[in-house]
Structure 1
Amino acid sequence: MPEGDTIFRAARTLQRALAGKVVTRFETVLPKLARVDEDAPLAGRTVVDVEARGKWMLMHFSGDLILLTHMLMSGSWHIYRPGEQWQRSRNDMRVVIETSDILAVAFRVPVAEFHTEESLKRRARLNQLGDDLLGAEFDIPASVERLRAHGDLELGDTLLHQSVLAGPGNVFKSEICFACRLDPFRKISSLSEEELLRVATKARELMTSNVSDTSGDKIVTYTGFRRTTGRSDPYERLWVYGRAGLPCRRCGTRIEVKRQGAQARKTYFCPECQR
Structure 2
Amino acid sequence: MPEGDTIHRAASNLHRALAGETVVRFETVLPPLARVDADRPVAGRTVEGVSARGKHLLVRFSGDLWLRSHLRMNGSWHLYRPGERWRRPRDAMRVLVETRPWLAVGFDLPVAELLDARGLARQPDLARLGPDLLAPDFDAAEAERRLRARPAREVGEALLDQGALAGVGNELKSEILFLAGVDPYRTVASLSAAELAALVTVARRVLLEAVAPYGASAPTWLGGRRTTGRSNPDERLFVYGRAGEPCRRCGAAIRLGRQGPGARVTYHCPRCQPPPGGG
TM range (shorter): over 0.9
The alignment partner of 1:51 has SS state of: strand
- Say which structure, 1 or 2, has more relative contact order (CA 8 Å, 6+ apart): 1
Number of residue equivalences: 269
1-side partners of 2:234 and 2:114: how far apart?
Answer: 40
Q: Quick check: 1:233 aligned with 2:214?
A: no
The alignment partner of 1:33 has SS state of: helix
Give a deviation string over 1:107-138, Cα, whole Å, max 9, x none: 11100011110011111121111110000101
2-side partners of 1:21 and 1:155: how far apart?
Answer: 44
2-side partners of 1:177 and 1:77: how far apart?
Answer: 30
1-side partners of 2:198 and 2:89: how far apart?
Answer: 44
2-side partners of 1:109 and 1:240: how far apart?
Answer: 30
2-side partners of 1:247 and 1:215: how far apart?
Answer: 29
Report the alpha carbon displacement of residue 66 of structure 1 after superposing the two structures with TM. 0.2
Report the alpha carbon displacement of residue 216 of structure 1 after superposing the two structures with TM. 5.9
The alignment partner of 2:145 has SS state of: helix
TM-score, normalised on structure 2?
A: 0.94
Report the alpha carbon displacement of residue 89 of structure 1 after superposing the two structures with TM. 1.2
Give a deviation string over 1:194-229, Cα, whole Å, max 9, x none: 1101110000000001111x3367xxxxx9421211
Task: Please tell me the residue identity of whatever aligns with 2:125.
Answer: R
Q: Quick check: 1:265 aligned with 2:264?
A: yes
Q: Quick check: 1:96 aligned with 2:80?
A: no
Q: Quick check: 1:139 aligned with 2:139?
A: yes
The alignment partner of 2:203 has SS state of: helix
1-side partners of 2:78 and 2:30: how far apart?
Answer: 18
Report the alpha carbon displacement of residue 106 of structure 1 after superposing the two structures with TM. 0.5
Give a deviation string over 1:54-97, Cα, whole Å, max 9, x none: 10011000110000000011111000001111111112111110
Q: Which 5+ residue runs of structure 1 have no aligned equivalent? A: 218-222
2-side partners of 1:142 and 1:31: how far apart?
Answer: 38
What are the equivalent positions in structure 2 for 1:120-159 lying under 5 Å apart? 120-159=120-159
Contact 1:216 1:225 in 2 (8 A): no
Report the alpha carbon displacement of residue 262 of structure 1 after superposing the two structures with TM. 1.4
The alignment partner of 1:142 has SS state of: helix
2-side partners of 1:146 and 1:124: how far apart?
Answer: 17
Give a deviation string over 1:21-80, Cα, whole Å, max 9, x none: 000001111111111111111110000010000100110001100000000111110000
Q: Which 5+ residue runs of structure 2 have no aligned equivalent? A: 217-221, 275-279
TM-align CA RMSD: 1.3
The alignment partner of 1:125 has SS state of: helix
What are the equivalent positions in structure 2 for 1:155-194 lying under 5 Å apart? 155-194=155-194
2-side partners of 1:198 and 1:237: how far apart?
Answer: 22
Task: Please tell me the residue identity of whatever aligns with 2:184.
Answer: P
The alignment partner of 1:199 has SS state of: helix
Identity of matched residues, %: 57
- Matched residue, 2:219: none
- Matched residue, 1:254: 253
2-side partners of 1:30 and 1:181: how far apart?
Answer: 45
What are the equivalent positions in structure 2 for 1:79-118 lying under 5 Å apart? 79-118=79-118
Task: Please tell me the residue identity of whatever aligns with 2:167.
Answer: G
2-side partners of 1:75 and 1:64: how far apart?
Answer: 25
The alignment partner of 2:82 has SS state of: coil
2-side partners of 1:187 and 1:245: how far apart?
Answer: 24
Contact 1:8 1:211 in 2 (8 A): yes
